[in-house]
Amino acid sequence: LPAGLSQWFPALEVLDVSGTGLTEMGTELLSLPCLHTLLAKNNRLGGPGSLPKGLGQAPVARSLRVLNLSGNRFSEVPPALLQLRGLRSLSLGGNRLQGIPPDIQELHSLEFLYLGGNFITAIPPELAKLPSLRYLVLCDNKIQSIPPQLAQLHSLRSLSLHNNLLTYLPQEILNLVHLDELSLRGNPLVVRFVRDLTYNPPSLQELAGRTVKTRNIPYTPSDLPESLVRYLSLASNCPNPKCGGVYFDSCVRQIKFVDFCGKYRLPLMHYLCSPECSSPFSSASQSSTSQSESDSEDEASVAAHRMQKVLLG
């Protein structure tokens, strides 16, 4: 960025430096207190020093609302971006991202997140802790599964997952009551389904966590390490109303087939806390395809209409 930028344009609100071959953005960026939109697409950013030191504490960190760094060379989400707590739109499409950091949950004001065209293989459950997120684009990655916690994104209206490696969807996705658009084309689930699933016994940590949750054992952040407090917050309730159990990483998984829009049949993942737990809708021993499909269609008859647009073609 040119020297003296903040002196020449102290009230600058929008800055577009896209396609200029930038390899780094200088310290002039830090002292633009009115800047709310920064577009730096299609450059060569991504190496050490691409972003100025102290970005998260600078005046611009408080004013910035839109940041577009798509088409660059970032292999990870820069930690400094996670300190821009006022961001409403963040675009990092077409980079070299390998994953999404759990600390993405710190961007509480985020409404639009574009991470398409990267090498992301997994979605952290912490992504579900973005209360304002309305548009989530994760297309053209290598994602194999969707965490059920994503159903906590109650404001979500559009979810783009096309061109990934998905073979199923979590049943909890039906709880996204405001979701208008779900894009799934180019995933294995469109042409084939997973039927043979295994159950891994819970770890000692999971057994302890289940006991704490099911028996309502009180604890405070001062009683446990931060990592265990975060782990306990990720407990999922068993969908069987007669069970009352919880699970973390270990659960029984069953495929349920659900019709969307009266046309497309999609496999949704149905979770139970243990092999001994019976499905609230059908016996766990009923594994025939026809029975599973019939039960699933009944389960989703109320929720399926919420998906107004399912893109598969």
pLDDT digits (tens, 9 = 90+) for 238-262: 877 778 888 888 877 766 666 665 5
Contact 76, 120 (CB under 8 A): no
Average pLDDT over residues 69-96: 96
Exposure on the CB side of residue 127, measured as CA atoms within 13 A: 22
Q: How many angstroms separate the Cα of 125 from the Cα of each of 49, 101, 192, 249? A: 30, 10, 26, 11
Q: Is the pLDDT of residue 299 over 90?
A: no
Contact 277, 245 (CB under 8 A): yes
* Segment among 63-67, 68-72, 200-204, 298-302 with least mean pLDDT: 298-302
In this structure, whether the domain defined by 5-187 belongs to CATH 3.80.10.10 is answered with: yes
pLDDT at 195: 45
Local structure of residue 260 (DSSP, 8 states): E
**Dihedral over alpha carbons 29, 35, 41, 43 (to 10 degrees):** -10
Q: Tally Cβ neighbours within 10 Å of residue 67.
A: 18
Q: Is the pLDDT of residue 19 over 90?
A: yes
Q: Is the pLDDT of residue 269 over 80?
A: no
List, in sequence order, the alpha helices (H) in the chain: 5-8, 59-63, 204-214, 226-232, 289-300
Q: How many angstroms separate the Cα of 94 from the Cα of each of 117, 145, 201, 270, 300? A: 5, 21, 39, 33, 35
pTM recorded for the entire structure: 0.70
* Segment among 155-169, 228-242, 277-291 with least mean pLDDT: 277-291
CA distance 54 to 265: 50
Local structure of residue 118 (DSSP, 8 states): S
pLDDT at 291: 36
What residue type is assigned to position 288 of the chain? S
Identify the H or E element spanning 311. Answer: strand 309-311
Q: What are phi and psi of 224, to 5 degrees?
A: -130, 155
